[in-house]
Amino acid sequence: MKFTSRLFALLLAASPAMAADFALNDGDRVVFYGDSITDQRLYTTFVEAYVTTRFPKKNVTFVHSGWGGDRVTGGGGGPVDKRLKRDVLAYKPTVITIMLGMNDASYQPFKTEIFDTYSKGYEHIVQTLKTELPGTRLTLIQPSPFDDVTRAPNFEGGYNQVLLKYGDYVKELASKNGALVADLNTTLTEATKKAEKVNHDQAVQFNPDRVHPAPAGQLLMAEGLLKAWNAPDVVSQVEIDAKAGTFAGTNAVVKEFATGNSIAWTQQDEALPFPLDLDDKVTGLALASSDFLDALDRQIVKVSNLTAAEYTLKIDGQDVGTFTKEQLAAGVNLGGMKTPMWQQARQVLDHIRTHNDAHNVRWRVLSEATYGEYEAAYQEAHQAIGRLEAEVVKKIHATAQPKPHRFELSPKA
């Protein structure tokens, strides 16, 4: 029996409350400020990728202004007031994140005089931003972890315990200043503890040098920031009753629905899944050791009243997986699977990386230097990279727009 004559489309978009509660709005300009951990452009790029793929209709721009070695007083990019003027204020952001502390605590047991420098310097940063950019929303990030899990602490209690004390202060400072606070330490530390029990060598790769987390570790740090921003967990959810021939969608349009030996429908989600690196074993362990998929990447297909024991799901003719009827009745999460939608999201991530690499060259290499007789050529290069950035940003948003896909669920032969 076919239902293609019922070409009604049912769209139950992400609830207004869910969309309204997310911390970023259409038109926001976000600056990520911090030290070398932010300078890696990993957790920041993952956050940007989430926002771009989950809210493809929103125009949110991102600037990555981390500088290796930074403290609250500044560092290799100059003293803090120069850093703030050139690398934050110049972009007129509406949202700023700040993560400092790894270097400030000086990799030694807690000392009051060192902490006092940190607290006074951090307060100066917050007050400067509030004065120069009134109305800008701040997110203060508690210091990310030093890995005292997979390797023995360097001193009694360990350096991460020192960073946690600094994080407590950051939380208090945020409360006093009406800012949000994000905990990137707990998410990664707890996942590392779980992963350590499964595979020590891979758990070490969450944070290879104990200071600078690798992509798998920074993915979980991104989760911490996104949770602080009240990021929605749902990409889309489609529920089908195979016996009744009824269907409903959340954040998705379903049409051209047909039943018979197989069930088929055309589906267009309002968002894309997260562009995870599904070929990386360390990332796989990070996902298995955390709640990332449930917390941020739920792309659910739920089909009840099936008759066969197992079914194969194809999307646009591509095999996605084989599932039992019990699994399908409970709901299968396509987030974390190699679907055509995931492939599109990976393209978005590639474009984001291209843009951020280009911006880094323009900002770090070309903006501040003087080149004597070559000044004109360097200015031309600066402008050319600026045009490149603008083109890539257009490409990012164009690529992030969801497309319709044909789903087919067939009994396993």
Q: How far is CA 344 from the centre of its chain?
A: 16
Q: The tokens of 322 are what?
A: 């084989």
Q: Tell me how far apart the alpha carbons of residues 75 and 69 are, in angstroms, rounded to a whole number.
A: 6
| Among 199, 228, 257, residue at a domain's last position | 228
Same structural domain, 179 and 328: no
Residue whose structure tokens are 């740090």: 221
Contact assessment for residue 144 and residue 35, using Cβ atoms and an 8 Å cutoff: no
Q: Tell me how far apart the alpha carbons of residues 102 and 212 are, in angstroms, rounded to a whole number.
A: 10
Q: The tokens of 90 are what?
A: 């110049």
Q: What is the predicted pLDDT for the residue at 293?
A: 98
Q: What is the predicted pLDDT for the residue at 2?
A: 37
User: Could you say which DSSP state residue 2 is in?
Assistant: B
Where does 103-236 have alpha helices with state H?
112-132, 159-176, 185-198, 200-204, 215-228
Same structural domain, 254 and 209: no
| Among 228, 263, 297, residue at a domain's last position | 228
Q: What is the predicted pLDDT for the residue at 7?
A: 33
Q: The tokens of 389 are what?
A: 């950035």
Q: What is the predicted pLDDT for the residue at 1?
A: 35
Q: What is the predicted pLDDT for the residue at 20?
A: 56
Pick out the chain residues at pLDDT < 50. 1-18
Same structural domain, 205 and 247: no
Could you give the dihedral angle defined by the CA atoms of residues 42, 287, 347 and 404, in that order, rounded to the nearest 10 degrees?
-140
Same structural domain, 155 and 303: no
| Among 228, 245, 278, residue at a domain's last position | 228
Q: Is the dihedral of CA 406, 407, 408, 412 positive or negative?
A: positive
Same structural domain, 68 and 190: yes
> In CATH, what number is assigned to the domain containing residue 188?
3.40.50.1110
Q: Other C-beta atoms within 10 Å of 156: how many? A: 7
Phi, psi of 351 (to 5 degrees): -65, -40
Enumerate residues 6+ apart whose C-beta is below 8 A from 333.
293, 294, 297, 298, 299, 300
Contact assessment for residue 145 and residue 189, using Cβ atoms and an 8 Å cutoff: yes
Same structural domain, 339 and 391: yes
Q: What is the predicted pLDDT for the residue at 245?
A: 86
Concatenated DSSP letters of 14-70: SPHHHHHHSS--TT-EEEEEESHHHHT-SHHHHHHHHHHHH-TTS--EEEEEE-TT-
- pTM for this model (two decimals): 0.94
Same structural domain, 176 and 252: no
What is the CB-side half-sphere exposure of residue 401 using CA atoms within 13 A?
6
Q: The tokens of 81 are what?
A: 């007031």
Same structural domain, 286 and 190: no
Closest by CA to 247, choosing from 271, 266, 223, is: 266
Residues 113-133 have pLDDT tens digits of: 999 999 999 999 999 999 999
Burial of residue 413 (number of CB atoms within 10 Å: 0-12, 13-18, 19+): exposed
Q: How many residues does the chain have?
A: 413
Q: The tokens of 388 are what?
A: 């490149």
Same structural domain, 290 and 152: no
Domain that holds residue 99: 23-228
| Structural domain total, the chain | 2
Same structural domain, 135 and 246: no
- Classify the phi-psi angles of 331: left when phi > 0, otherwise alpha if psi is within -120 to 50, otherwise beta: left
Same structural domain, 237 and 377: yes
Enumerate residues 6+ apart whose C-beta is below 8 A from 28.
60, 61, 94, 95
Q: The tokens of 94 are what?
A: 């509406």
